[in-house]
Structure 1
Amino acid sequence: MLVALLALQLGSLVAPAYACGCGAMIPDRNHRIGVDRETSAVRWDGRTEQIVMRFTVRGDAERAAWIMPVPGRADVTLGDPELFDELEELTRPEHRKRHYFWPRAKDWPFAGGAGDGAAAAPPGDGAVGVVGRERLGPFDVARLTATDPKALSGWLEKNGFELSDGLAAELRPYVAQKWEYVAVRLAPDADGAALQGELDPLRISFASERLIYPMRLSRLAKTPQSLGLYVLADHRMEPRDDIGGRAPEVTFAGAIEPEGAVAALTGGSPVHLTALDQEFPDPSLIDGDHELRTVADTPYREVIYHDRLLTIGGVPVWLLTVGVVLVAAGAIVAVRVRQRRPAVRSAA
């Protein structure tokens, strides 16, 4: 079973192994790869968790691999690329116009124009076991068990995954908790093309009585990390803490009637959708995995305001108002001057 499952022919890595929110990203020899953005959709019904993930990457690597720890026996399939477009549409901010009276810096007479504002199986060798292997489009996927951190690291290195000492050390807590692992080899469709932009999504499902999103391996990243998370559950869900990053920001929360790819993920049942964004300026501060909890089902949608100068017929209202006031003031002054002017008497 210990065949060259995911042979990447990796030598000693000159470039560091970057990490992403879902696991360790490993480039091929003498190349670099970085994850600028990880976006995941998580479906949890109280018993089973499904994670559909998509990476936005940069670098010059033609091949790469990543390791993702999971708390239970995992099934891996290709994800629907339309899922994230649908979720983005569902959670799109509401745009509203908002008018203001007095001119601002970009308005006349201060500037030339008006401006806009916006607000399984037992291990085969007693330490590491291969649960399964699948070829999914551009991905070669191995599902592993392990009872010893060194054995897991050694098996991965033997089969093409050269791990840094830091990554091997970060796997120890997962081995102690008897988690399993998804090891994935990925490469672009075109020969000689670098891994760039948005990669095809993968869907991983496993049994879990808690909603957990693996993040611990991201502490090895050398650059700031960005996480976008769509959570589909029976209620609004939010992380228990920030696990070393900035406070997670809720950009949408509300009940939805799923359609299309979202319905395929949820089984068509009405669910609550929570959209979260989080930044990790210093990934080394990440101290655990995200565990999400149920909170009050308070709806929320981000509102972006577009400020406009109040006009009538294209003429600023403030200018019309000032003009009216000046005309009225001039009329009053003229009347008072006329009233104070002494009458001229004619000679008898």
Structure 2
Amino acid sequence: MRAGGTERASGGRRRALCIVLILLAVQLGWLARPAYACGCGAMVHGPNATMAVHHETSAVRWDGTTEQITMSLTVDGTAPDAAWIMPVPHRATVRLGDPALLTELGRLTEPVTEHRSYFWPRSGDWPFASGFGGATAPAPGARAPGVGVVGRERLGPFDVARLTASDPDALRNWLKTNGFRLPPPLATELRPYVTQRWEYVAIRLAPAERHAYLTGTLDPLRLSFPSERLVYPMRLSRLARTPQSLSLYLLAPHRMQPLSTIGGAAPQVLYAGRIQPRGAVRDFSGTGPAFLTALDQSFPQPQRISGDHEFRRTTADTPYQRVTYAYSLLKVGGIPLWIPTVGGVLLLLTAATALPLAHRTRHRATPPAPVRIPPPLR
């Protein structure tokens, strides 16, 4: 592969590559103000700059032998450039992802709305408020001893290097020599990956325009690598200084669950179900049916992260979907049903009370019949 390219991609591809760094940096969650680590990788910017990731979404496809990751996020800050490194268990390929993928997955996993009616008026209904309106409930080159460069390419404004390493310090020095300025603690956190003979994707990115900052919604990047298990590298997130969140779409033959919380809160299942992929989802996962599992997890104390996320199939492919209840006042002909109902009951009560009273009144008004006394017998 070429050490670098001089040809610049279109504006869309440039933005897409922007995702490279931060996108992969966050791995699959929501993230704010990353500090040397975020999600599945480590992201670094200059000491006098700031960078905040407001929203990051990731999708993972695993078929038992190959894993693919697509990520995208929205960022802002004052960083004119940044760098990101992600460990992968095997050699990876990198290309641009489809922005429509995450949008379609979000649509597939959104809650269904179930409408329910209530009889008695609530706050916001008449007579507690004017009108009869019902209330509705809210419903990511050179060679040095111990480091091998298996690929180096230019994707728009991004310099992407795919590396092997037998020494974490040599890896950090190579990255520093080639413009990836990473903090010293990173060498310590990389050591387990070096021991396991993992490889790395290192990306240096900058805005498409000179003198600009990395900001806005970045288009997604797609990584693919062989893997006999569904694993998500999370160890580098131990370097983060702020709480992190993880949002993940898993496309696999069966419903998946993490082996452990790895130091975070218990993952929340947002969706589980077998789907027939279409559009961008089909391009990502293949034409056959796939089981989609959507998870959210928070890491209030990133330093407690104990290792990488590994997922396994659940004992049963039990479907699950969130339900949002929309409540409205029960009406008939546009009139709240409680009004004629209460009115009718009042009429019946009035009638039931008035009839005995009228009967008693008539009884009092009727004079008693005169008593006839028979004449005495002679």
TM over 0.5: yes
Task: For 1:243-262, list aligned pairs within 5 A.
Answer: 243-262=262-281
2:14 equivalent in structure 1: none
* 2:118 matches 1:97: no
Structure number, greater radius of gyration? 2
Q: Check the 8 A contact 2:248/2:294 in 1, yes or no.
A: yes
Q: What displacement does 1:340 show?
A: 2.6
Structure 1 residues 210, 343: closer, same or farther in 2, change over 3 A?
Answer: same
* 2:187 matches 1:168: yes
* 2:364 matches 1:343: yes
Structure 1 unaligned residues grouped into runs of 5+: 6-14
CA RMSD across the alignment: 2.3
Q: Check the 8 A contact 2:271/2:320 in 1, yes or no.
A: yes
2:207 equivalent in structure 1: 188
**4+ residue segments displaced more than 4 Å:** none
1:330 equivalent in structure 2: 350
Q: What displacement does 1:124 show?
A: 4.6
CA distance in 1, matches of 2:134, 2:211: 49
Which residue of the other structure, out of 2, 19, 38, is the alignment partner of 1:20? Answer: 38
* 2:240 matches 1:221: yes
Task: For 1:53-68, list aligned pairs within 5 A.
Answer: 53-68=71-86
Q: What displacement does 1:126 show?
A: 3.5
Which residue of the other structure, out of 75, 88, 94, is the alignment partner of 1:70? Answer: 88
Q: Check the 8 A contact 2:150/2:162 in 1, yes or no.
A: yes
Which residue of the other structure, out of 87, 90, 106, is the alignment partner of 2:124? Answer: 106
Letter in structure 2 aligned against 1:271: A
2:231 equivalent in structure 1: 212
Task: Report the TM-score, using the length of structure 1 for normalisation.
Answer: 0.89
Structure 1 residues 336, 219: closer, same or farther in 2, change over 3 A?
Answer: farther
Task: For 1:289-304, list aligned pairs within 5 A.
Answer: 289-295=308-314, 296-304=316-324
CA distance in 1, matches of 2:143, 2:210: 35
Letter in structure 1 aligned against 2:193: Y
CA distance in 2, matches of 1:138, 1:79: 16
CA distance in 2, matches of 1:330, 1:49: 75
Q: What displacement does 1:72 show?
A: 0.7
Counting aligned pairs with the same residue, the percent is: 59
* 2:166 matches 1:147: yes
2:136 equivalent in structure 1: 116
1:8 equivalent in structure 2: none
Q: Which moved more, 1:294-303 or 1:130-139?
A: 130-139
The superposition leaves residues 294-318 of structure 1 with CA deviations (integer Å, 9 ceiling, x where unpaired) of 0111111111111111112222222
Letter in structure 1 aligned against 2:78: D
> Between Structure 1 and Structure 2, which shows a larger proportion of helix residues?
2
Structure 2 unaligned residues grouped into runs of 5+: 6-32, 371-378
The superposition leaves residues 8-32 of structure 1 with CA deviations (integer Å, 9 ceiling, x where unpaired) of xxxxxxx983422121111235111
1:239 equivalent in structure 2: 258
CA distance in 1, matches of 2:201, 2:257: 25
1:88 equivalent in structure 2: 106
1:9 equivalent in structure 2: none
Task: Report the TM-score, using the length of structure 2 for normalisation.
Answer: 0.82
CA distance in 2, matches of 1:330, 1:162: 87
Q: Check the 8 A contact 2:34/2:242 in 1, yes or no.
A: no
2:23 equivalent in structure 1: none
Which residue of the other structure, out of 296, 300, 317, is the alignment partner of 2:337? Answer: 317
Which residue of the other structure, out of 54, 57, 62, is the alignment partner of 1:36? Answer: 54
Letter in structure 2 aligned against 1:177: Q
Q: What displacement does 1:346 show?
A: 4.7
CA distance in 2, matches of 1:82, 1:345: 89
Q: What displacement does 1:329 show?
A: 0.8
